[in-house]
Amino acid sequence: MRETFVLQTGAKINIYLEILGVRRDGYHELRSLFAPVDSPSDTLHVSPLPRGGGLSLSCSMAELEVGENILHAAYEAFAAATGERPGLRIHLDKGIPPGSGLGGASADAAALLVFLNDRLPADSRLDSTSLLRVAASVGSDVPFFLLGRTAWVTGAGEEVAVSELEPQLNGLVIVCPDVVVSTAWAYREYDRWTVSRERPGKSLTRTRKAFNDLFCSSGQLWYNDFEPVVLRSHPELRSLKYTLYRIGARAVALNGSGSSMNALFASEESHRRCLRFLEQNSITHFIAARNRTGV
């Protein structure tokens, strides 16, 4: 390998996320419907190191260069499975906001695993099952990004099955407020919250009487178990959600533990009104486009 390769990753959105309980190993059992999207995206610039093996990493966000991150974990997991340790220099341009629930880190890890595997001679490459196993050891959402299709994700996130449901994403805006929600905190808070309260209901859009007529568009499943705890602790997210309803959204739901939200609009007029509001208030946002190819 002599040239620099450019790897473009996509993100994921959560159409449905249910926390089923805590397993004996301490991980939470989940059932979630993921869909891949092209935007937002990260870009990995991969070039060879002149000598020796190992991974050298830089990033457009300096705070992500500190310590070992998921790209190091993916590299080491692949090396353990294959014995191959090519010298690589990677510069990561972050376009997927960290802490947004859009799976940017997992997408990056999946892209690196595919790249490393494709660089091996054909008879030495890991088969799809083995590569999925390596991906699952790196992070719970990484196997989904290898698949790159709408899928039900279960277990602790490592079990992935292609879904026959193809969600309609026309009119969907991914809203990324300047808030970071810790996934570890969200799980702890959810566990604490459910000990003293009844399990939350399944409607995201009927938490206030004023929005009883604004459930979901026909055939959609938009739901997220994290919302009761995340929105309670981050009132700015709750306020934004209801503002999006007032603009004309038919459904608004968190991605993962947040802080990004999916806002689904049924008309072009309300969609344009939403974009104007987000631009006027300098709120980062993306117009969803389907990613059907995977990484």
Residues marked active site are found at 12, 141
Q: How many CB atoms lie within 10 A of CB 289?
A: 14
**Does residue 153 contact residue 237 with C-beta atoms inside 8 Å?**
no
Instruction: Report the distance separating Cα 149 and Cα 152, nearest Å.
Output: 10
Q: Spell out where 163-291 has E strands.
A: 172-176, 223-224, 249-254, 261-265, 284-287
Instruction: Report the distance separating Cα 185 and Cα 181, nearest Å.
Output: 8
DSSP per-residue codes, 2-27 = -SPEEEE--EEEEEEEEEEEE-TTSP
Query: What share of residues in the chain are helix, strand, coil (percent, to 5)?
Result: 35, 25, 40
For residue 175, what are the β-bridge partners? 261, 285
Question: By C-alpha distance, which of 158, 124, 127, 128 is closest to 143?
Answer: 158
The structure tokens 């030495």 sit at 124
